[in-house]
Amino acid sequence: MKLIFANKNYSSWSLRAWLVLKHFNIPFDEDMVLLNGEGWRETIRKKSPSGKVPVLVDGDVVVPETIAIIEYLNDKYPAKGIWPSNRVERALARAAAAEMHGGFTALRNEAPMNLRASHPGKVDPDLVAGDLKRIERLWGDLISRSGGPYLFGSFTAADAMFAPVATRIRTYDLAVTDLAMEYVEAIYALPAFQEWLVEAVKEPWTVEQDEIDAILAARKLANSEAAGRA
């Protein structure tokens, strides 16, 4: 089994799938592709039917998309506990994962994952306030039910889906409730996450389009050009 993924410093979707494989002790090989450099898009397209990462390759089976990968692993390794065993909790975990998959676009756009960086004050809190409020409520409701430290007590795929959110809160020093910050610390304490983090901060590559300074500079230029045409 092999996971094709991108830069550990930047690729939030890669982190999600990788955490599930690593935390649940599923043997796999790594195949990392870069998010920059000459022909990087073509390189990914050669390995991924969707042109995106991550992709799981298991013999003749090729599975793109993080949630599909998680479901494939859950079906193949049902005893691992990738999702909660309780039917109701499993439904809530999948609902949370689906909400993460399809939502929180403001937080994604304004605060790209960057594990090497520390950028307090570089994200306008008003632009991400709605997403953070919903995240705080979601995490709070689930942890209140389970007792923590993870959303359903022990680490599940739902936590893997929210791990990149935890990194954004820390990287940009976003103001959240004490309970939410405790959850961020629980994600960082996970041995599998620590392994990814150690490797991420050692990466020598810089992907400009995922750096907040480059994003803000490009936005300022676009706004200036738009004002000039007005």
Bridge partners of 64? 55
Cβ atoms of 73 and 1 within 8 Å: the answer is: no
Bridge partners of 30? 3
Of 9-18, 126-135, 207-216, the range with the lowest mean pLDDT is 207-216
Residue 228 banded pLDDT, cuts 50, 70, 90? confident
State mean pLDDT over 65-88: 97
Nearest to 173 by CA among 220, 132, 222: 132
**Who's near 204: CB < 8 A, 6+ residues apart?**
none
State mean pLDDT over 50-79: 97
State mean pLDDT over 74-101: 98
Cβ atoms of 12 and 171 within 8 Å: the answer is: no
Q: Is the pLDDT of residue 230 over 80?
A: no
Joined together, the tokens standing for residue 82 give 């990738």
Domains with residue ranges and CATH for the chain: 2-80 (3.40.30.10), 87-194 (1.20.1050.10)
Sign of CA dihedral 44, 49, 55, 57: negative
Bridge partners of 29? 2
Q: Is the pLDDT of residue 221 over 90?
A: no
pLDDT of residue 219: 87
Number of Cβ within 10 Å of residue 210's Cβ equals: 19
